[in-house]
Amino acid sequence: MANEGEMLASTVNHQQWVCTVCGYNMIGEMPDVCPFCRARHDKFVTWDEAEQTYRVTPHQINNYVTQLISVPRLGMEHAAYRIETDSGAVWIDCPSAFNRDLEPVEAIYFTHKDFMGASNQYRDLWEAKVYLHVNDAEHPLAEQFPIDNKIYGDFTEHGIEAFYIGGHTPGFMIYIYDLVLFIGDYAFPPGSSMQFNPFGPKDKTRKRASRILDIVSERSLEVVCGFNFFTDFDSWREDFNHLLDTAR
């Protein structure tokens, strides 16, 4: 793991910008508009300005899962999740703000390319391994971010079960650890107003949702962790099932 002095040395000439509208990180020269949300460059801050302003704050969900999200909120920033597994701590997705005083993790598993956050900086600081499905790793939004392990299908590691879904993005993944499902932004918000993510191929998103139901149908889960929420699994599954039925 790199020490703080090494991290500071590696970032002296480092250029990275954070969009305060959506939280997307841009590595290298500052673009005129955010490639993710199209906000203009006057809405950008440097990565070190973001570190000083936005504190990645933990919210305990249960004994082994913590939600991480910036305070104050970094625009439409997604949540990341820390899991304390029996073989070490990992993240599902990555915070948009870089805070070097966070507790380290061994790996970062991504639901999809949109939630890369400041993963390149956390990877450098902790030597954490970054996992992203190969279909998303080839997308322009991900090409600036280092990927250690490209995902090609389902797998299990650190006791976490990973399932390839596709749909919303070509490489969308979901994860299950013990009693918790990590669903990203495939459908939101929880409750009767739930809808599929409207960005991306709508037909594929709807069709691939049936695989999610197949995966969770025989499981006794308790919690669903999404892009900016966590909620009871049973009620979420009922709403998700209803959404799929009405979308057919």
Give 216's contacts (C-beta < 8 A, 6+ positions apart).
176, 181, 233, 237
The pLDDT profile of the chain, 248 residues, written as one tens digit per residue, is 555 555 544 544 479 999 999 999 999 999 999 999 999 999 999 999 999 999 999 999 999 999 999 999 999 999 999 999 999 999 999 999 999 999 999 999 999 999 999 999 999 999 999 999 999 999 999 999 999 999 999 999 999 999 999 999 999 999 999 999 999 999 999 999 999 999 999 999 999 999 999 999 989 999 999 999 999 999 999 999 999 999 87
24: tokens are 């997307």
Which of 158, 167, 104 lies closest to 131, judged by CA?
Answer: 158
Cα–Cα distance for residue pair 243/231, rounded to 1 Å: 16
pTM: 0.94
Distance CA(85)–CA(79), nearest Å, equals 19
- 16-247: CATH topology: Metallo-beta-lactamase; Chain A (3.60.15)
Distance in angstroms (rounded) separating the CA atoms of residues 171 and 229: 22
Domains of the chain, by residue range, sit at 16-247
Distance CA 3, CA 65 (A): 26
Q: Give the pLDDT confidence of 86-122 residue by residue, as tens digits.
A: 999 999 999 999 999 999 999 999 999 999 999 999 9
DSSP conformation letters of 74-107: -TTPPPEEEEEETTEEEEES--SS--TTSPP-SE
d(CA 18, CA 245): 39
Q: List pLDDT tens digits, range 112-152.
A: 999 999 999 999 999 999 999 999 999 999 999 999 999 99
